[in-house]
Structure 1
Amino acid sequence: MKNSNVLVLMEWYDHRLREGIGRYAAEKNWYLTVNDGCRLPQGWSGDGIITLLNSRADMIRYIRRQPVPCVDVGAFRMDIPLPRICGDHREIGIVAADHLSERGFHSAAYFATEYQHPHALRGTGFAERFRAKTGNAPRFLIWEHCRSRDADNWQAQYRWLKRELKAMPKPLAVFCYCDYDAAKIESVCLEAGFAVPDDIAILGVDNDALVCENIRVPLSSVRHDLIRVGYEGAALLNRLMAGQPPPKAPGLIPPRGIELRASTDSLTHSDPLVRAMLQFFRDNPHRSIGVDDVAAALGQTRHKLEEHVDRVLGQTVYATLMRLRLYEVKRRLTLTDQPVKEIAEATGFCHAQHLNNAFRRFERCTPTAFRKRERRQCAAHAEDA
């Protein structure tokens, strides 16, 4: 049985897509011809093609002329009828909205430099979920829709972003199409004097360590599983080359959660009394704080505090305190190696079993199971990168 000869032809280089394709190719002993599209491989003859199409008309013509199966691993050109495996961009937006709303943000924006089909899917998923969670629709900041003739003028984009961010209510959460866009937002925020994440929290996509970790405030990012996109795209091509019919709909690869870093590592709220309550908890994380303790610290009667929190947050003070404790617990489970017993003591729980019971009730799993899941996702993404 001869080894399949597969062409990898993409409009731009992405090492994670290549890694996924390479893993599958190694399993099947494929012979790969890799071309990043600078020059089309005239005269190539083989068994199948994996491509990533966007705006290159010559590449699109080349693909259409080839008499072999072809799989697109992007969602940019849905108008071209090819079998397709791509990231679930809408779900990426939903995961981002859950992450930011969980941290107490009620004002948000979605920023993208360009605006194509994947950009729209991420923005729509984010907007619908954030509105469902908070009652507030995010503001869309799309540079492509308002830019001047000089589209690549960073200074013009910088001034525009600075004006827009200054005009929006704080605290503000900004979900960005990718980590490069998130880095732009952070640069503007810090130059304009906004604290990240307390004034403006920033969340990117792709978990590109080069971008996310080599910046003044390290960027949190949605783990877009591009390795699996490449791998599953190759697996689909293998089925097509074996004569199986193409699927009726694109295969969608979900994200692997959030890589938490400093740019969203905060809880906040726009209401002054709620913010004071959050600060009191931050100052006393180890204490088993009750409703009376909070009321006394803030100079409020218990009844007045309960009434205010219920009106602003739609929940009791006790439920808010528990949410704060569990937020800190999850942060420590994700970012530290502290034993659960020590985390319980450091976050105001009487003992580890008390924490276990509360965690199960609110998160539907134990702290240990939560930590293992986060570590598996983080390790898998680190290996892929």
Structure 2
Amino acid sequence: MRIPDDIAVLGVDNDETICRLSEPNLSSLNQNIEQGGYDVAQLIDRIIRDPATPREDVMVMPTHIVTRQSTDIYANGDQHIAEVLKYIHENIREKISVDELVALVPLSRRLLETRFKKSMGTSIYDYIIQTRIEKVAQFLCEGMSVSEAALELGFSDIKNLSRMFRQLRGMTPSEYRRHVLHPER
């Protein structure tokens, strides 16, 4: 099987060395290890203060997926949709129009949109927006500012970006960045 053409592969722990040495580079769940450390320290403090404190598991929840080549496109049985997905992911930093995508495959616009929606469960336009917002979230998790992430992805209007981000993520990009980078606050 070819990765990511036939199957997408996602790892855990986001160990940069392992992820970058894999061919193709491995996408991975990023876990909030720092917050887990704080939670363990609080548990240890409670146990030291009161040895009768019940022991409990400390859960470290994932914060986001760090997308690399192993999931850049989703495994898709429709080769035309796979080609469109690949183009979207390779060119996500550019403005992509549906007409550009129609030119890639031997399908009419209507047929492409119908097959895409059936395969992906969303419209092409919404998929592009969701993918761009996911990329913004990834950049924010990597420490970029909102304006840097917006610039990197060609968003000319930060207010529009914030509105779309809030619709999809339930918070503004600044709130998301603060939440991911400083969860204890």
TM-score, scaled to structure 2: 0.71
- Report the alpha carbon displacement of residue 235 of structure 1 after superposing the two structures with TM: 0.5
Identify the residue that residue 329 of structure 1 maps to in structure 2. 136
Match 2:167 to one of 361, 374, 384: 361
Identity %: 19
Identify the residue that residue 7 of structure 2 maps to in structure 1. 171
Higher relative contact order (CA 8 A, sep 6+): 2
The answer as to whether partners of 1:285 and 1:348 remain within 8 angstroms in 2 is no
The answer as to whether partners of 1:310 and 1:316 remain within 8 angstroms in 2 is yes
Separation of aligned partners in 2, 1:223 and 1:336: 14
Q: Report Cα offsets for 1:184-243 as digits up to 9, x if no partner.
A: xxxxxxxxxxxxxxxx33224xx7xxxx344424874534525523531441463355xx
Separation of aligned partners in 2, 1:237 and 1:342: 44
The answer as to whether partners of 1:202 and 1:263 remain within 8 angstroms in 2 is no
Identify the residue that residue 277 of structure 1 maps to in structure 2. 84
Separation of aligned partners in 2, 1:259 and 1:362: 14
Task: Flag the structure with higher strand content.
Answer: 1
Separation of aligned partners in 1, 2:17 and 2:148: 31
Give the partner amino acid of 2:179.
R
Give 3-state SS (helix, strand or coil) of 2:174's partner: helix
Superposed counterparts of 1:259-298, under 5 Å:
266-271=71-76, 272-298=79-105
Corresponding position: 1:344 with 2:171: no
- Report the alpha carbon displacement of residue 298 of structure 1 after superposing the two structures with TM: 3.0
- Report the alpha carbon displacement of residue 252 of structure 1 after superposing the two structures with TM: 4.6
Give the partner amino acid of 1:353.
K
After superposition, the CA RMSD in angstroms is 3.4
- Report the alpha carbon displacement of residue 259 of structure 1 after superposing the two structures with TM: 7.4
Number of residues of Structure 1 aligned to a counterpart in Structure 2:
172
- Report the alpha carbon displacement of residue 263 of structure 1 after superposing the two structures with TM: 6.1
Q: Which has the larger radius of gyration?
A: 1
Identify the residue that residue 239 of structure 1 maps to in structure 2. 50
Give the partner amino acid of 1:255.
V
TM-score, scaled to structure 1: 0.38
Q: 1:293 to 1:170 in 2, by over 3 A?
A: closer
Identify the residue that residue 203 of structure 1 maps to in structure 2. 12
Give the partner amino acid of 1:334.
C
Q: Report Cα offsets for 1:88-117 as digits up to 9, x if no partner.
A: xxxxxxxxxxxxxxxxxxxxxxxxxxxxxx
Identify the residue that residue 303 of structure 1 maps to in structure 2. 110
Separation of aligned partners in 1, 2:161 and 2:176: 13
Give 3-state SS (helix, strand or coil) of 1:202's partner: strand
Structure 2 segments unaligned to the other structure (5+ residues): none
